[in-house]
A and B are shown apart, each in its own frame.
Chain A
Amino acid sequence: MDFVAQLTLFVLAIFLGVELITKVPPTLHTPLMSGSNAISGITVVGALIAAGSDSGMLINVLGFAAVVLATINVIGGFMVTNRMLAMFKRK
């Protein structure tokens, strides 16, 4: 993908993000933070590629660290968000 196409995605996604997030009510801001945090664990995609590329010890170590950290982020983030959201009930 060329740089301009990447930059286009980046800029448009920021606008989309601002539009979306401003609609989230204050009562859900903590789950929003943990949820968006889990989503930022998308780095797991890059981590998997690095860890599975079999390109030497240093890369294996970095890849392993990246997979562990990103997986904590993803699993921990989505689970704790779910735990919090399940508590929000109407009467």
Chain B
Amino acid sequence: MHVSQNWIDIAYLIAACLFVLGIKGLTKPKTAVRGNLLAAAGMGVAAVVTLLNEHIVTYEVIIAGVVVGGLIGAIMAKKVQMTSMPQMIALLNGFGGGASFAVASAEFFRGSANDTVSIIATGAAVLIGAVTLTGSLVAFAKLQELIDGKPMGFPGMKLVNAILFIGSLVGIGYLVVNPGNEMVFWSLVAAAMVLGLFLVLPIGGADMPVVIALLNSYSGVAASAAGFVMGNSALIITGSLVGASGLILTSIMCKAMNRSLTNVLFGVMAEAGEAMDADEVYAGKVKSTSADEVAMMLETARRVVIVPGFGLAMAQAQHAVRELADTMEAAGIEVEYAIHPVAGRMPGHMNVLLAEAEVPYDKLKDMDQINPTFEQTDVAIVLGANDVTNPMAREDKGSPIYGMPILNVDKAKTVVVVKRSLSAGFAGLPNPLFAKDNTLMLFGDGKGAVLDITTALKEG
């Protein structure tokens, strides 16, 4: 069937509009499901009209690819645990980058890139796509704990990376002058793949949320570059939308972790100020409590805020927490959740984990919403969170975490911290919150402690 290119381009425009409307839908939980469906419909439109393209003469390879890819994608989406969502997204980012890289390579070998702009675009799509592919695979392996989450590297790694990057740019320049040189093309591919590995290996597991957001951005930019190669408006528009989205999320995560992007990428840790001695901070000032005592306190409380950290999700305690919240609400207590941006392993992760446990989303408050309310809060229950509640970030200019935005739980009338021991969090610092006058420590396993409080509350 022959359809004029104008009609195909108009269909791509419709697809792009559906993507924009889809993302707009994601600005409210109420319209989000519909937004996602609109975006999926846009993808359907774009894929179907592409099949009418005059360059497509056979369908065997297409059908085989769609069946294989569709099955793998559907199984992954059905099986993945919500706690493993960061790995899943890392992998999907990698595949997106890999697809753009393969498309640009195919265009190169078809010889369709022969003017300066399309050769540069092909080189960019190969470079960014391959970096996204191998970089995401490393991020996946670290998050899935297939390899050690600790930063890995060797002396002179930055220099090697710089050489690989500059070498890639020189290679692209060479291809502009001598289009079609396959040796140079394969060298570019190899350099980009190694660069992707070396860029992510030295980044520690705790910084992976930033890396995933950044790779998300790269996968968009790679798609956009592939669009420049093919002169396809749908790819250019959509790729840059995704590129912008990834960049914004990257900067949000960096702010929440009090790190600059350069610090994360080049593995510079904050200068350790004068190390505070844990014994000095805690000596004689830590008060411990019991589940029964906490339950008694909750009975007289009017407003309770729960502060979940990733430890809670690791203990699979989300359902237990919701049950505690339900019990309190049945007794007329107002309950809200305080979500720090880095509470999970990626932006918004904790919200998904709590939504899975059927916590209503209007109870989930982000940092800026909840912080002013702690002064009117009778009890704040901290579960598996540590560094994001450390008042040193607010008060001690010498502290390595000074300036990091935190949840001001210490302003609540009473703070209950559920924790196995007084051990330090990711930042490796003692937390003076634990020694405050209004803080009570409930030592023990998170899930068990929550269940005990709930039982005591029901009986009392």
Contacts and interface: CB of A to CB of B under 8 A. Distances in A.
Interface of A: 1, 3, 6, 9-11, 13-18, 20-56, 58-60, 62-91
B223 A30 contact: no
Interface residues of B, number: 115
A3 B59 CA distance: 31
Interface in B388-414: none
A37 B352 contact: no
16 contacts: A14-B244, A20-B245, A22-B248, A25-B27, A26-B347, A35-B23, A36-B242, A45-B230, A45-B234, A47-B65, A52-B58, A52-B61, A71-B68, A75-B74, A79-B77, A88-B29
Is chain A's interface secondary structure helix, strand, loop, or mixed overall? helix
A87 B352 CA distance: 8
Contact of A29 (B222, B226, B237, B249): B249
B339 A43 contact: no
Contact of A36 (B23, B32, B346): B23
B56 A32 contact: no
Contacts of A59: 106, 109-110
Interchain residue pairs A-B with the least CB separation, the first 7:
A71-B69, A67-B65, A17-B244, A29-B348, A76-B73, A75-B73, A52-B56
Contacts of A64: 61, 64-65
Chain B CB within 10 Å — which of A24, A28, A29, A54 has the most?
A29
B348 A26 contact: yes
Contacts, number: 380
Nearest to A37: B92
B61 A9 contact: no
Given A18-B244, A27-B339, A37-B93, A85 B99 contact: no
A36 B245 contact: yes
B20 interface: yes
